[in-house]
Structure 1
Amino acid sequence: MAGIQHIEAGTRLLRVKHSRHPWLHLVAIALSALVALPILSLAFVALSGGGEDWPHLVANVLPGASRTTLLLLALVAAATSVIGVLGAWLVVAFDFPLRRVFSWALVLPLAVPPYLAAYAFGEFFHYSGPLQTLIRAMFGFATIRDYWFPDIRSTPGAAFVLSSVLYPYVYLTTRIVFLMQGRNIADVARTLGARPAKVFWKVLLPVARPAIVAGVALVLMETINDIGASEYLGVRTLTFSVYTTWLARGSLEGGAQIALLMLVLVFLLLGAEHWARRKQRFNTGRATHMRAYPPRTRLSGLAGLGAVTAVALPVLIGFGIPLLVFGQYASRRLDQFLSPALADAFLNSLVTATATATITILLALFLINAVRLSRSRTTTVAVRFAAIGYALPGGVLGLGLLFVLAHFDNALDAFMRLHFGLSTGLLLTGSAGAVVLACTIRFLALAEGAIHSGMEKLPRHLDEAARSLGQTPSRSAARVLLPLLKPAIFTAAVLVFVDTIKELSATILLRPFGFNTLATYVYENASRGVPEEGAVAAIVIILTAMVPVVLLSGALIRDREAVL
């Protein structure tokens, strides 16, 4: 018996050793190092300065920018928590008119980039905009001095804009928890005589707290990444200060120092998100399809009207206002659809997004396969670190990558001059390839997460069964896993494609001269004070970004738990 156990142990050891591939381990570490280079370069540049800018930054820039950023983060966190949690609770726990429509429509504001929302809100809430014009007509006011109206170009205004398009992150994470656990435990609480409000505060909210924290962490990382909305609304955040310190004062070291401060804040948010995810557990109870789900509470009359209003307002504000404003402007500029400048911007966006999606999907598949085959803790840690790019603000990532590419180009040019008498110039710096590289680093985690989620739904030993029939690991992955992962791969590709179309911060820093994408095309017009001239490009961005939202919405509609 002991001999048989010894043989089995030796067989397992051989199988584990056979499954390890050192080259996969090395490539995974190399990819992690590529992600780490922008961070290391920022630290190097920040520490290489003489420190002459630091007194000015400490006295005049950092206090105000830090207070503004923290206030903005606090307001956005509070607003998105209320909107997201309230919307998730209403569509899961209650039944009211159009509930199924709003259960997926609440996701639509994700199709609107924050900078487009800022331009649209700035026009909609302007003195000459439709809202203030209606107020003056209704109450007979003649001038702005006759009434008070909140200023959208302020920190609370920026928080309102960002919350309007970012709350779906909280809504989605919270809704999943409410569906998987909340309705059943809430039904138990109701059988004990608890009213809906008490069930929400005492039962549902504590259960959903980890999901809420995780969703808010994603919202805050997007808020830190924003530059277009903050700049247009005149809100001087830390991200905005990085650009002004670098471009206005000509201080790379000062901009890098502010960027490092932002990274500390980002890592704190990542720690909070990781803590929340670690405490998040689901009990789906899918042992049988005969399970009876607790019914929703029927709302009618004023209660039903209030529920419809509560879930309709976020959709109308976050998605309806941008679509209305840019749609009106675009309808008066239909000739721009044939504009060569817009055609070039669209082509640049298409090529950049397609290249980024292709490279990112291939890298994500490679990294997932590396973890699966190497079975090494070091490889797993390296792959997780390679996914940190999504947490880096686009401006910070672009700035760090710019330093790395400039150093590489200068070193290569010096080498070629010395040995061959040729000048290579700037090959990567200020090129479309730099934009693709930045977007690949930033959105690699997005692709890896989507594909990994699809793989988790497959039987764990599916590919091992194929290898037991004589298939090599690569052939079993190509013939068995890839066909089954097609939906997850397609979803990941669409998400990366659309996020690259929407990307602004890194593109502004790294794009070559005269190279416009749809995002920078809109940004340039807004910077000149004429956002209406970029309305057609804005509509194209929104319609393109609606693709993954529609796919996600379809998944929500098909969710059996959501419709029972």
Structure 2
Amino acid sequence: MYSRLSLSWITSSWAIGLLLVFPVIAIIYQGLQPAGDLFQHLMDTVMWDYIRNTVLLILGVGVLSFAMAIPAAWFMAMCDIPGRKYLQWALMLPLAMPAYIVAGIYTELLDFAGPVQSVLRDLLGWQTARDYWFPNIRSLGGAIVIIASVLFPYLYLLARTSFLEQSVTLMQSAQLLGKTPLQAFWRISLPLARPAIAVGLSLIAMETLADFATVNFFAVNTLTRAVFDTWQGYGSLHAAAKISTLMLVVVVLLLALERFSRRKQKVFQKNMGQESARLLQMKPWQQWLAALFCWSLVVLGFLFPFSMLIYFAAQYFTDSWTTEFIEFSLNTFFIAGVVAVLACLIAILVGLFRRLHVQRGSDIPARLSSMGYAVPGTVLAIGILIPFGWLDHSLNDLIEHFGGKGPGLLFSGTMLALIAGYLVRFTAIAVGAVESSINKIPPSLDMVSRTLGHSPVKMVRKVHIPLISKGCFTAILLVFIESMKELPAALILRPFNFETLATYVYQFVSDEMIEQGALAAIVIILVGLVPLIILSRSIEQH
């Protein structure tokens, strides 16, 4: 191993790590400043309502996701049910569906003017909404159902993997002691899967906290919506930063709670072995009931919304295939491509720095580069605007001081802000993919290169880069896809008259014209299916 690298490599690794974490530091610094009149007014009037709704939303989505994911994971890991071969990967499909698109489709279906209530009124003779009761989808409860229906696969994947890794001898011992499969599940499988469940619920909670489009569409006041409204409605970066600080506190609490819940738990178990040895044989009616439950999750979260989008796209194709659609698609591909390549280069730089620089703290730049992924997009957008806004004002003041004309919003009003926001948010994905490939390279290859007199740069070029090329491709692909789907940061950071496919679709959803945005929504969803296909193949290989 090389104990010394060039000063430029060391400096650039630390500089990039600090730059990528700087927006978070800027939010915290701004949030610790004395409260202004606007923030104090919000605290005195509506802020506690925002906080209460946020907590209820996270708890509701967590509970409902648990009720959806855990039975499905148990059936797929332990039971022989009809269609199990297809259900194993089909249950991952809802992850490709943006929640706000699903919200728009079910609102079209279930709202007062939708086909469901219209048919009920025609059949039963009801005239107005006062004549009957029907669940209001535009509510906190509706948001919980919609968000849980697309996020439960996070928990399903982790819980299923945990169930598959549990020893078959434990199940056999429970049966010898006279326990039913259900009793074995509650007393053995579920406690052993608690670490995986805690991680899955934490991921779901953070994704729920970050959601803006769905709660905004349903007019549910949450902290994410408060950040957006404070900046867009009042133009107060200071108040938005203070609310963002509250959200950072929530993120830290969620991460701490996840770690605390499994701080003393240690699990030692052998893999279950052959599949045929572990599948439980249920009664026929139980098998079909389990299959019906699992397929209903797939239909609710993916098949029905996607089928409706295909129908809408076919009906409104001539209205959807426009020069605007092509322009916004090119915008999206360009931004996502630039971010993906830059994120991969950063991941290579800090990943190889960690491997080759064997001094204490060499992993810090990589960890700093990854911190932004846990932060909601709206919060990161505010974190980008704080330093970029300061740079714009400073540059304009400096030029005007010497008698020139300032360039305006050179940083915060251009694509630079959007690219920076995406990089802070998604570099963690690239770091994870590239580091995974780097860790598979045997240390002996580094030693051989050093013995042959190769410099660190030459060793990286001839040994490391060829061996991590697959991981780099995966990193570029994943960051590209996530950048295409990102909405909250794009809504705040995009330049004037600049749209991405995500913001384009969201405008149609907000205007209740999802039919005309269906084609763009299908593009986003199909691209989002790529990592699920990769993940499915990876699971099958293991």
TM-score by shorter chain over 0.5? yes
Once the two structures are aligned, what percentage of the paired residues are identical? 35
Aligned-pair CA distance for 1:182: 5.1
SS at match of 1:430: coil
Aligned-pair CA distance for 1:336: 3.7
Q: How does 1:129-528 map to 2 (within 5 A)?
A: 129-133=114-118, 135=120, 144-181=129-166, 183=168, 185-275=170-260, 294-418=277-401, 421=404, 423-528=406-511
Q: Are residues 1:64 and 2:49 paired?
A: yes
Q: Which range moves more in the overlay, 88-97 or 50-59?
A: 50-59
Aligned-pair CA distance for 1:506: 0.7
Q: Distance in 2 between matches of 1:218 and 1:290?
A: 29
Q: Distance in 1 between matches of 2:435 and 2:70?
A: 27
Question: Kindly tell me: are residues 121 and 290 of structure 1, through their superposed partners in 2, closer, same or farther at Cα, counting changes over 3 Å?
Answer: closer
Letter in 2 for 1:296: L
Aligned-pair CA distance for 1:315: 0.9
Aligned-pair CA distance for 1:314: 1.2
- Given that 2:237 and 2:386 are in contact with CA atoms closer than 8 Å, whether structure 1 keeps it comes out as no
- Given that 1:345 and 1:516 are in contact with CA atoms closer than 8 Å, whether structure 2 keeps it comes out as yes
Letter in 1 for 2:58: L
- Given that 1:104 and 1:557 are in contact with CA atoms closer than 8 Å, whether structure 2 keeps it comes out as no
- Given that 1:336 and 1:342 are in contact with CA atoms closer than 8 Å, whether structure 2 keeps it comes out as no
Deviation track 1:385-434 (CA, whole Å, cap 9, x = no partner) reads 22110011100100120121111122223334445835333222121221
SS at match of 1:97: coil
Aligned-pair CA distance for 1:538: 1.1
Aligned-pair CA distance for 1:279: 6.7
Aligned-pair CA distance for 1:215: 1.1
- Given that 1:170 and 1:216 are in contact with CA atoms closer than 8 Å, whether structure 2 keeps it comes out as yes
Deviation track 1:12-60 (CA, whole Å, cap 9, x = no partner) reads xxx6634x55544432322232133222332444455663224312221
Aligned-pair CA distance for 1:69: 0.3
Q: Distance in 1 between matches of 2:208 and 2:51?
A: 14
- Given that 2:92 and 2:153 are in contact with CA atoms closer than 8 Å, whether structure 1 keeps it comes out as yes
Question: Kindly tell me: are residues 54 and 141 of structure 1, through their superposed partners in 2, closer, same or farther at Cα, counting changes over 3 Å?
Answer: closer
Q: Which range moves more in the overlay, 149-158 or 139-148?
A: 139-148
Aligned-pair CA distance for 1:319: 0.7
Question: Kindly tell me: are residues 413 and 182 of structure 1, through their superposed partners in 2, closer, same or farther at Cα, counting changes over 3 Å?
Answer: farther
Q: Are residues 1:17 and 2:3 paired?
A: yes
Letter in 1 for 2:155: V
Match of 1:84 in 2: 69
SS at match of 1:379: coil
Letter in 1 for 2:537: G
Q: Are residues 1:42 and 2:19 paired?
A: no
SS at match of 1:298: coil
Q: Distance in 2 between matches of 1:332 and 1:136?
A: 27
Gaps of 5+ in 1: 1-14, 560-564
- Given that 2:336 and 2:481 are in contact with CA atoms closer than 8 Å, whether structure 1 keeps it comes out as yes
SS at match of 1:95: coil
Q: Distance in 2 between matches of 1:273 and 1:468?
A: 45
- Given that 2:350 and 2:365 are in contact with CA atoms closer than 8 Å, whether structure 1 keeps it comes out as no
Question: Kindly tell me: are residues 334 and 290 of structure 1, through their superposed partners in 2, closer, same or farther at Cα, counting changes over 3 Å?
Answer: closer
Identify which of 110, 113, 123 aligns with 2:98.
113
Q: Distance in 2 between matches of 1:506 and 1:334?
A: 29
Q: Distance in 1 between matches of 2:262 and 2:438?
A: 19
Aligned-pair CA distance for 1:233: 0.6
Question: Kindly tell me: are residues 202 and 245 of structure 1, through their superposed partners in 2, closer, same or farther at Cα, counting changes over 3 Å?
Answer: same
Aligned length: 542
Deviation track 1:78-136 (CA, whole Å, cap 9, x = no partner) reads 11122222211110001111101111111101111122122122222223434445555
Aligned-pair CA distance for 1:293: 6.8
Deviation track 1:113-161 (CA, whole Å, cap 9, x = no partner) reads 1221221222222234344455557767565445432111111110111
Aligned-pair CA distance for 1:356: 0.8
Q: Distance in 1 between matches of 2:355 and 2:108?
A: 51
Q: Are residues 1:533 and 2:516 paired?
A: yes
TM-score of the superposed pair, with normalisation by structure 1: 0.89
Question: Kindly tell me: are residues 187 and 362 of structure 1, through their superposed partners in 2, closer, same or farther at Cα, counting changes over 3 Å?
Answer: farther
Match of 1:9 in 2: none
Identify which of 70, 85, 94 aligns with 2:79.
94
- Given that 2:237 and 2:382 are in contact with CA atoms closer than 8 Å, whether structure 1 keeps it comes out as no
- Given that 2:167 and 2:269 are in contact with CA atoms closer than 8 Å, whether structure 1 keeps it comes out as no
Q: Distance in 2 between matches of 1:241 and 1:69?
A: 10
Q: Which range moves more in the overlay, 457-466 or 444-453?
A: 457-466
Q: Distance in 2 between matches of 1:202 and 1:23?
A: 56
Question: Kindly tell me: are residues 88 and 362 of structure 1, through their superposed partners in 2, closer, same or farther at Cα, counting changes over 3 Å?
Answer: same
What is the Cα-based RMSD across aligned positions, in Å?
A: 2.7
Deviation track 1:286-328 (CA, whole Å, cap 9, x = no partner) reads 8xx9978733112352111111012111111111232123222
Deviation track 1:53-75 (CA, whole Å, cap 9, x = no partner) reads 24312221211000000000000
Q: Distance in 2 between matches of 1:293 and 1:299?
A: 14
Question: Kindly tell me: are residues 471 and 84 of structure 1, through their superposed partners in 2, closer, same or farther at Cα, counting changes over 3 Å?
Answer: farther
Q: Which range moves more in the overlay, 309-318 or 192-201?
A: 192-201
Aligned-pair CA distance for 1:236: 0.5
Aligned-pair CA distance for 1:351: 0.4
SS at match of 2:411: coil
Q: Which range moves more in the overlay, 332-341 or 400-409?
A: 332-341
